[in-house]
Every structure is written in structure tokens, then in C-alpha cells.
Amino acid sequence: MKIPLTLNNNKIVLSADPSESLLSVLRKEKIYSVKCGCQKGICGNCMVLMDNKAISSCIIPIGLARGKKILTLEQIMEEPVYEDIMTGFSQAGITLCGYCNAGKILTAYSILTSYYRPTIEQIEDAISGLHCCCIDNTTLTNGILYAVAAKYTREGKKPNARK
């Protein structure tokens, strides 16, 4: 079946069985930031953004991606907010293990692009679905808060200013 979608800002048409997982199709497309982990949608290793919402690509059939915008870590790494995230993670003492990077970074990206001033509760809610073995939720929350501050600095805004 032909499945049109936007992958990393490029409109493409994929040929795939609509029930095949988005993860396996992305791997065939040489998108290697998505990794096969738990296959249950909880580890974050296969995370992508679908219409700016962080999702586990292992449990999403490619047929549901029809007409959607899919962003992977490969694309996010090209955007200025990626440096904000890396700065925030560094300040919090977060080291990237190489396996669940997509889950941590894409969740942070989703938060930074969805909320002007995310609350701790909003961050905790967003990361509650991640079950990374290499980091605790408090440290990840702090890293995201530092990333928000780095984004404000890059944009020339004051951290306590309202939009």
C-alpha cells in the first residue's frame, strides 16, 4: 500500500503493509535513531514525533502515519533547540547512553516547542511514559528545565518574563 507522509520535512510516499510498525519502516528508510527496545511502547528507544507529539514507533502501525508529519532525532539535531536541550542536559549532569537518546531528546523537544513556560507537572506528565534505565525522572526534569532556560537565553528572553 502507498502511504504518503512527511518524514523529517520531506514529503514522501512509502510502500508498506499498513499493519507494519512505524519503527520497522523507519529502519528500512535508514533512520537509525529509532531503536528496537521493549516493543511495548514504554522504553522510549523508538520514539519519534508525530505531528509534534512524542510517540513510540514500535506500537504504531505505519498505516496510522498516513498524511502525518514524522520527525526523528536526525532532523531535531539540525534545529537550534537541540543545542538548548544538550546544554540543559549537560547542566543537569545527564549523559546520553546512545540507546534511549531519542526518548529523552524528543520528549524534551516536544515540551520546549509546546509550552512557553512548562510547569514541573507538565514536564513530569510528559516524561512519565519514559522508562529509561540510565536516568531518573528528577534529573531528566531538571535537564529539561535547564533547557528551557537555555532556550530563553538563546532567544534573548528573560527566564521569568511572560509571553
How confident is the model over 64-118, as pLDDT tens digits?
Answer: 999 999 999 999 999 999 999 999 999 999 988 777 888 899 999 999 999 989 9
Spatial distance between the Cα atoms of 4 and 47, rounded to a whole number of angstroms: 20
Confirm if 65 and 50 have CB atoms less than 8 A apart: yes
Least confident of 39-43, 50-54, 82-86: 39-43
**Looking at residue 99, what is its pLDDT?**
77
Full-model pTM? 0.86
**Predicted local distance difference test score (pLDDT) of residue 159:** 61
Predicted confidence band of residue 161 (pLDDT cuts 50, 70, 90) = low
